[in-house]
Structure 1
Amino acid sequence: MMRAYLVTVALCALAFSLASASDPSPLQDFCVALKDSSDSAVFVNGKVCKDPKLAKADDFYFGGLNIAGNTENLQGSNVTTVNVDQIPGLNTLGISLVRIDYAPYGQNPPHTHPRATEILVVLEGTLYVGFVTSNTENRLFTKVLNKGDVFVFPVGLIHFQFNVGKTNAIAIAGLSSQNAGVITIANAVFGSNPPINPDVLTKAFQARQECGSTSSETILI
């Protein structure tokens, strides 16, 4: 009797560990997201679904990923996102992708995706890419990628891409979330709304402030 009880407990523990190791499996073929919903709608870690009988092919379609993005900006890059906001049929499916265009020496600056692992393949050009592990070690993993090369950025870790070539570069990346989210480190830290208290940033970045008569500047120590 005791042996049967222990086996049952072990099987339950195994089932729980397997169930919690990844996102739950969908309970239906698809759940096309509604763009507009009432204030009383319930969101369960995703978007409200339309009646499956009203779904159409366009709910699973996006066109124009062959069009290069505008890289005439400070970073020299452009990210074209294809997630649940562009393809409603991605709702609950746990996958999305992006196209990234880089001008010569352009970069996709250090950022994180809080809800997704990213796998990137270079279509054109040469990219210097990397990610940093969590604070236990802060190890930096980097690689120079050429056309056809693939690199993985683990979920939640800070990562970047930099075009080290003299020509434009293009990459496609898959993400393990219908809505991976993105936190660009510099923008989040220095461009928050409202701003983070300067004393916090000064101490965090080990900087000192030197004030002149008409302006002030922060100098890293």
Structure 2
Amino acid sequence: MKAYKRIRRFKYIVFCVPVLLAFGCGIGNLENALSEKGDYHFRKTRWGYSKAMVELSEQKQGSRLFHRKENTLIYNERILGMPVKLVYCFEKDRLRVAGYLTDRPVKNAMEIFEHVAKTLGEPIDMISGGMVWADYHTLVYMDGYISHVTQSPSRYQRSQGLLKLLDKTPKEEAGKVLRWDGVWTYVDQNFFRQLHEIDYPMDELSHYEKRLFAILRRQQMRTYITPQGRITLPNNP
């Protein structure tokens, strides 16, 4: 149910973008950021490119193909030194979704979020903790979530204390180390408008498109550090 609500909210964004553009507000730096890349929609590709065209583009940039499926191309990439998977998704050999997935849970994922916000400017909307930017051609979505917690013994508990006067909340509790996963996704607006006309849009998405839409997330795990060793279990909230 949450997944369908997320897609419905995206639909609202897609159809509000032309109105926002008409009034000249709410788009941030997305159009400028895209135009600086030579009218490309994502990296050095455009929506509708075939797999062969995308492979040639990435080959020219020195990227090495990690995995190829019928409707998906995956490359190993790094953003700010962090390992990510660069994913291209196609339907009938036409590019419609692309983006980055964290390769594994990382401690400093917020640096990527800050980098995206600095590059694209103010988002036009916030949904489920994620940020959205859009222009006529492209919808950009950024989302992060805690996917791994390491818990070690501690004699103390942590609270805001005097920092409450500064409205500053400690990032982590005593004895806890948080690691994050995230997505940075680019979507062809024409494809997203088509989803608006479909009764069950999730059925139209491939596995990696669901991951890039943050519909499928890595299961959160918790590792306990004990005198006997480490114990890792699913974290069921």
Of structures 1 and 2, the one with the larger relative CO (CA 8 A, separation 6+) is 2
Report if TM-score (shorter chain) is over 0.5. Answer: no
Which one has the largest radius of gyration? 1
TM value normalised by structure 2: 0.26
Q: Please identify which structure carries the higher helix content.
A: 2
TM value normalised by structure 1: 0.28
